[in-house]
């Protein structure tokens, strides 16, 4: 039993030495890692500054994109309204041309029904001459 007690006490001692050795190593490493901590802090600050710059750039780009989208939407709406106005104007012009064409056709149809005044003068003049000729013949 004493051997078992000795073994357990020595195992406990080794275990305790292992626990004490780790903090000593950490303490020995601390001064050299202190420099690393300072450099890590400066790197962290640099990274934070870079992140803030990137966020600012992203916000700026997003704002520019939103403004560009709004301008494009406004431009497209203006173009659409302009095209609609042009189409309405073209339709009105077509309607006016159709009205004029219809009116001209109506006038042509009416003129075709009436005798030509020039033809009436020619006939009247020819018959007058003919009548005059007959009257002259009767006098002789």
pTM for this one?
0.42
pLDDT digits (tens, 9 = 90+) for 8-46: 667 767 666 665 554 544 445 555 556 688 889 999 999
Q: Which residue has the higher pLDDT, 57 or 123?
A: 57
89 belongs to a structural domain: yes
Torsion angle defined by CA atoms of residues 98, 101, 107 and 111, in that order, rounded to the nearest 10 degrees: -150
97 belongs to a structural domain: yes
31 belongs to a structural domain: no
Question: How confident is the model at residue 127, as a pLDDT?
Answer: 56
d(CA 8, CA 16): 12
Domain count, the chain: 1
Owning domain of residue 59:
48-135
d(CA 93, CA 24): 99
33 belongs to a structural domain: no
d(CA 55, CA 138): 122
64 belongs to a structural domain: yes
pLDDT digits (tens, 9 = 90+) for 41-77: 999 999 999 999 999 999 999 999 999 999 999 999 9
d(CA 45, CA 78): 49
43 belongs to a structural domain: no
59 belongs to a structural domain: yes
Question: How confident is the model at residue 139, as a pLDDT?
Answer: 58
9 belongs to a structural domain: no
């Amino acid at each position: 039993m004493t051997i078992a007690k000795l073994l357990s006490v020595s195992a406990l001692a080794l275990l305790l030495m292992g626990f004490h050795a780790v903090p000593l190593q950490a303490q020995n490493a601390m001064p050299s890692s202190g420099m690393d901590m300072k450099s890590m802090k400066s790197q962290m600050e640099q990274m934070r500054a870079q992140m803030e710059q990137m966020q600012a750039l992203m916000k700026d780009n997003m704002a520019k994109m939103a403004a560009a989208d709004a301008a494009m939407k406004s431009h497209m709406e203006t173009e659409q309204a302009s095209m609609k106005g042009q189409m309405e104007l073209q339709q009105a012009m077509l309607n006016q041309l159709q009205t004029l064409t219809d009116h001209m056709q109506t006038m042509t149809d009416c003129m075709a029904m009436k005798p030509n005044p020039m033809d009436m003068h020619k006939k009247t003049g020819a018959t007058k001459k003919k009548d005059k000729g007959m009257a002259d013949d009767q006098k002789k």
